[in-house]
Amino acid sequence: MKEKFYKYCLISVVLINIWTLVALFWFYQEEPGEFHGLGLGIYYFYSLFYSLFGGVILLFLRGLSIFLKKNRILETSFLYFFTGIFNFNLFILCIAAILLKMLPIDPAFIPFELASLVISVIIFIDYYNSNLRVKE
């Protein structure tokens, strides 16, 4: 099971690096001007909302599979693990941007970032309890 965990970590890091490179190239291809960086902000917000939506759906499906005691395919799913890592990555990016004073602290945006953190922590705890904890 740990081999699968390491494989999922590696694939997730590669996909997140590709996502970051796309954002970087998109930012540098924009024309300098009044709205420079707006496309990057929209890219980030879309990524955040899609990852939150996907995380909520996957957590709902995972809870439903536990409740119904059906096939627990999500506990070893790459998509489930990747959603947790991606949500955590988006949370860390926002915190870093706020600490570096690149973004202002917006009270309307804080619940989305906290939801991203909560979803990632729940997925990490569930993944650990389902796959990595030594079962006695």
Residue 72 neighbours by CB under 8 Å, 6+ apart: 65, 66, 130
pTM for this predicted structure: 0.83
Exposed/middle/buried for residue 15 (C-beta within 10 Å: 0-12, 13-18, 19+): middle
Residue pLDDT, tens place only, 96-122: 888 888 778 888 888 988 999 999 999
Residue pLDDT, tens place only, 63-76: 888 888 776 777 77
High-pLDDT (> 90) share of the chain, %: 17
**Please, which pLDDT band fits residue 134 given cuts at 50, 70 and 90?**
low
Mean pLDDT of the chain, nearest integer: 83
